[in-house]
């Protein structure tokens, strides 16, 4: 078995946690209250235009809107916020995953990413109020035990 030092193990825990947090925000983004409309029926006044308003003021005004139009799509502000947060956490986790892959073999790192399931269970119970059932705990235990068997 490849010996894992404490710093590498903490990096592994961190990238799996960040990936789970990113997925949490993507889940929040996908709920009905953060919808994406494709009908093109919404029109938004961007306020003053032209040379009177500098770029910083325009960006500030745009960000204060509750909806954004991108072509024929209308995006809720919360959708955009969750997308940015999810992308940040997920992307940071992916970068740390790459760092970990430089320190350990792929056959060790990849099975241990199943730790993500532990974080996901905790996050979904705490923030999404999902029920933790015996079946979920048993399934999680089997997945994680199998992963540790693979790397030992």
Tell whether the model's pLDDT for residue 19 goes beyond 60. yes
pLDDT over 70 (residue 126): yes
Give the pLDDT score at 79.
86
Does residue 117 surpass a pLDDT of 70? yes
How, if at all, do strands 36-37 and 67-70 pair? Answer: unpaired
């Amino acid at each position: 078995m490849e010996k894992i030092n404490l710093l590498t193990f903490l990096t592994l825990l961190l990238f799996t946690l960040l990936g789970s947090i990113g997925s949490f925000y993507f889940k929040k983004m996908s709920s009905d209250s953060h919808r994406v409309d494709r009908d093109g029926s919404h029109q938004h006044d961007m306020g003053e235009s032209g040379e009177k308003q500098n770029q910083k003021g325009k960006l500030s005004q745009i960000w204060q809107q509750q909806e954004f139009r991108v072509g024929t799509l209308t995006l809720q502000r919360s959708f955009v916020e969750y997308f940015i947060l999810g992308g940040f956490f997920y992307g940071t986790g992916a970068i740390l995953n790459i760092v970990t892959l430089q320190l350990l073999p792929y056959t060790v790192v990849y099975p241990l990413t199943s730790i993500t399931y532990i974080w996901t269970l905790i996050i979904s119970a705490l923030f999404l109020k999902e029920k933790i059932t015996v079946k979920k705990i048993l399934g999680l235990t089997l997945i994680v035990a199998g992963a540790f068997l693979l790397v030992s």
